[in-house]
């Protein structure tokens, strides 16, 4: 029987694979392209982009000629680690070394730019790919749309979706979710519903991320809209997560429906989820806005006990809610508590 393999790749864990490459360097041995690519892919999974670049450079110094698969794996390691500039630089070095980038290379580099909010660079790479006769795929357009979403260019994101469809490319769930997310950034909830309808007409089945994106977009609309989307989500057999409930609570809070927002806390606890800082901030704000000082105080205390830092604006809203209901003792107590813990910026 062969020796069991580790989880890091065909040669064991990523640490073992990395050690073997460096050990080979000590004896001036150059790993094969397959072995080096596997090691870089293992490093990429663990965000070890610097280690990946180190062994790549070491191999090149020992006269290894990289191919497009190896270079793309290295760019992917940078993309996963959020190092967009390194990804773009490596793409440029490929041209110098006369290694032609392929579709996946450009897609990964564009994704890296999207993560780094470098939408102009993403479009530069797209144009470069077209000049190099590398045809875009739906993944390419999803990357461009993600770059637009990160830059709050929702109209441009929608334009890219239309361009992709015009090129007879079939948008997938990632493409549609990105477009809907862009609408959320642009507060265009009506447009998000149109995209959702087009997605369903094309037979693309939504997942939880798509529903969350739609809820975030529709959080700008009528408060009941997000709740109706939750009902549809249940009918699809999809289980909501914390983002789902936080989004609905936020939509209710914006509409002044603090009791409906508070109901989401019960749902969160019923699903054995743990409220996060967004949950507490949303619910405390909703109760304070609705002048429900008792609930605002209670949730504010829970937030502190959970170890979350309360902002000056949030605490001020709770104090104002107490004042609006002539609960001066509670307002003064909270003010004194905050001074005791030394809340940064209090009174500014």
Q: What is the C-alpha separation between 64 and 28, in angstroms, rounded? A: 12
Distance CA 78, CA 88 (A): 9
Q: Say how many C-beta atoms besides its own lie within 10 A of residue 75's C-beta.
A: 31
**In-domain check, residue 103:** yes
- Print the domain residue range for 330: 265-348
Query: Given this model, what pLDDT does residue 7 score?
Result: 44
Q: Do both 328 and 277 map to the same domain?
A: yes
Asked if residues 186 and 154 have their Cβ atoms less than 8 Å apart, the reply is: yes
Q: What does the alpha-carbon distance between residue 207 and residue 96 come to, in Å, rounded to a whole number? A: 42
Mean pLDDT, residues 162-177 taken together: 95
Average pLDDT over residues 236-248: 92
User: Per-residue pLDDT averaged across 7-32, rounded?
Assistant: 77
Neighbours of 266 (CB within 10 A): 10
**Same-domain status, 18 and 88:** no
| Residue 215, in any domain of the structure | no
Span 312-339, average pLDDT: 81
Decide if 139 is inside a domain: yes
Token pair recorded at residue 181? 């997310």
* pTM exceeds 0.95, yes or no: no
Cα 60 versus chain centre, distance: 34
Q: Are residues 75 and 44 in the same domain?
A: no
Share of the chain above pLDDT 90, in %: 53
pLDDT at position 342: 54
Q: Are residues 330 and 304 in the same domain?
A: yes
Q: Does a structural domain hold residue 94? A: yes
Q: What pLDDT is attached to residue 346?
A: 41
Do the Cβ atoms of 246 and 278 come closer than 8 Å?
yes
pLDDT averaged over every residue in the chain: 88
Clarify whether residues 39 and 104 are in a common domain: no
Distance between CA 212 and CA 72 in Å, rounded? 32
Question: Torsions phi, psi of 220, nearest 5?
Answer: -85, -10
At residue 107, the pLDDT reads 98
Please indicate, yes or no, whether residues 270 and 308 belong to a single structural domain of this protein.
yes
Instruction: State pLDDT tens for residues 271-315.
Output: 889 999 999 999 988 888 888 889 988 898 888 888 888 887 888
Radius of gyration from C-alpha coordinates of the chain: 25
E strands, the chain, in order = none
- Asked, for residue 90, whether it belongs to a domain, the answer is yes
**Does residue 88 sit within a domain?**
yes
CA separation for the pair 87, 97 (Å, rounded): 15
| Total number of domains in the chain | 3
- Report pLDDT digits (tens) over 180-213: 999 988 888 999 999 999 999 999 999 999 999 9
Residue 190 inside a domain? The answer is no
Same domain, 273 and 324: yes
Residue 335: inside a domain: yes
Q: Which residue has the higher pLDDT, 200 or 326?
A: 200
């Amino acid at each position: 029987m062969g020796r069991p393999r580790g989880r890091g790749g065909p040669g064991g864990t990523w640490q073992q694979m990395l050690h073997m490459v460096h050990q080979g360097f000590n004896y001036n041995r150059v790993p094969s392209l397959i072995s080096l690519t596997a090691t870089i892919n293992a490093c990429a999974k663990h965000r070890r982009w610097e280690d990946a670049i180190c062994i790549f450079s070491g191999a090149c110094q020992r006269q290894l000629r990289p191919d497009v698969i190896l270079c793309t794996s290295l760019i992917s390691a940078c993309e996963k680690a959020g190092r967009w500039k390194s990804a773009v630089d490596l793409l440029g070095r490929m041209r110098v070394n006369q290694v032609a980038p392929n579709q996946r290379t450009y897609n990964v580099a564009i994704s890296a730019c999207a993560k780094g909010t470098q939408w102009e660079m993403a479009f530069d790479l797209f144009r470069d790919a077209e000049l190099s006769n590398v045809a875009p795929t739906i993944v390419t357009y999803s990357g461009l749309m993600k770059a637009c979403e990160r830059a709050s260019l929702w109209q441009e994101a929608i334009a890219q979706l239309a361009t992709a469809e015009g090129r007879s490319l079939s948008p997938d769930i990632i493409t549609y979710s990105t477009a809907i997310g862009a609408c959320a950034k642009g507060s265009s909830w009506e447009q998000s519903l149109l995209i959702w309808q087009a997605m369903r007409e094309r037979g693309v089945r939504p997942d939880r991320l798509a529903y969350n994106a739609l809820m975030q977009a529709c959080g700008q609309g009528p408060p009941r809209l997000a709740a109706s989307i939750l009902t549809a989500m249940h009918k699809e057999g999809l289980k909501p997560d914390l983002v789902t409930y936080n989004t609905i609570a936020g939509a209710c809070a914006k509409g002044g429906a603090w009791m409906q927002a508070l109901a989401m806390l019960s749902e969160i606890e019923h699903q054995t989820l743990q409220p996060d800082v967004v949950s507490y901030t949303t619910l405390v704000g909703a109760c304070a806005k609705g002048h429900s000082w008792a609930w605002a105080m209670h949730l504010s205390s829970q937030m502190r006990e959970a170890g979350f830092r309360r902002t000056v604006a949030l605490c001020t809203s709770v104090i104002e809610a107490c004042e609006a209901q002539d609960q001066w003792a509670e307002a003064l107590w909270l003010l004194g508590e905050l001074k005791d813990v030394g809340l940064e910026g209090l009174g500014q």
